[in-house]
Structure 1
């Protein structure tokens, strides 16, 4: 027990030191007096040293021995990769997905025009072809194509059932993949360990430029 407590305390101190280091960078306290440009020494243990496969190196650092541990929910509960843009998230996910055994399952959204608020004689449906709708990438909505595999970690983009912990940002671990439903286990929040089922559902984007122009039947 003493060894466990000592190890946990050491991890806490390490996290605090790293957080302080990040704050010092953001506040400009590192590198000495400067006018906004300076040189900062980055610790070797957080550097990506493989210029040819930087994403692979990042995944290996965050998810070591993933093939042996991907079925363990706790393994993903303790790990995550943050990215600044959705394009980077997709690139990392595609790279990570290729590491999982088994067949991938592809889900496609069913996009259509929601014309209830249009005057039909002023509405040109040709402006919103399926190719245009399928190419939309809107914050809070999944892309047209979603590729999953059993064992992958995923994150909800909308509040579905807040009482049961299914909120925007909730992370889940995929257990099984059906034709119209995804079974997963919650790995963050107050409902960790609970199993849930995510069905296909109709979603309407809220952006002013495309509000009421399209609706998407897909998974979150």
Structure 2
């Protein structure tokens, strides 16, 4: 994901500081990542600009030693279906010739997002406080808009009463001309929305380190009670971490 210009600046800086003209000033330099995930994000740019700013387009690419992981230790060897799935995904990102085909019984295909939500979160009305129910279910979307849309569909399936929490939108300094309506309409992947709509049974993700190691950025909770200024929840953990 790193822009090649950032790595070039680091290379030049280390050579200068260490007075060593070797790559990265002669220091061991390790990059970790997968080009199947995401290329550098170029504001207003297209595919050509993203490829141009990728480390593969840099002078340093040919001098790097490439190491690849070849085995997924989390998969059971007798679980043929779960072994084939990551193999198929790797084929999709490896420029394999011809179409990558999945067996008919390999997956469940749907025609709409609503049908997908109904398939994955079937009977959520009776399992909205069941941690093991949510541990085995997830829907992945490539865009934030898709995530918001799917989350709203799941939210509507919960029959509990909805409570709306508004963020503080009052300027501290007097005379500050701030259009709060503009800021309230903005969304950010690192901040909750201005209006946080929650029900008992909603699954939320903590985005701050509140009380490590249990309540950290990325911890998921199931809401069990809604107070005026406090959300009460139960930590949602996987079976391996219990």
TM bin, normalised by shorter chain, reads 0.5 to 0.7
Structure of higher RCO (CA pairs closer than 8 Å, 6+ residues apart):
1
Partner-residue secondary structure (3-state), 1:142: coil
2:95 maps to which residue? Answer: 28
CA RMSD of aligned residues (A): 2.8
2:169 maps to which residue? Answer: 111
> How far 1:80 moved relative to its partner?
1.4
Residue 142 of structure 1 pairs with residue 215 of structure 2 = no
1:71 maps to which residue? Answer: 129
User: Cα deviation per residue 1:26-71 (whole Å; 9 max; x = unaligned)?
Assistant: 112252xxxxxxx443444535332xxx111111222222222222
CA contact under 8 A between 2:209 and 2:216: conserved in structure 1? Answer: yes
Distance 1:189 1:67, change over 3 A: closer
Q: Tell me how many residue pairs correspond in the alignment.
A: 167
Partner-residue secondary structure (3-state), 2:81: helix
Greater Rg by CA: 2
Q: Please, which runs of 5 or more residues in structure 2 have no aligned partner?
A: 1-74
- Using structure 1 for the length normalisation, give the TM-score: 0.65
Distance 1:156 1:11, change over 3 A: farther
Partner-residue secondary structure (3-state), 1:21: helix
- Using structure 2 for the length normalisation, give the TM-score: 0.60
Cα separation, 2, equivalents of 1:159 and 1:11: 39
Residue 48 of structure 1 pairs with residue 109 of structure 2 = yes
Cα separation, 1, equivalents of 2:100 and 2:180: 49
Q: Please, which runs of 5 or more residues in structure 1 have no aligned partner?
A: 1-7, 32-38, 194-220
Residue 18 of structure 1 pairs with residue 85 of structure 2 = yes
CA contact under 8 A between 1:140 and 1:158: conserved in structure 2? Answer: no
Cα separation, 2, equivalents of 1:166 and 1:30: 46
Residue 178 of structure 1 pairs with residue 236 of structure 2 = no
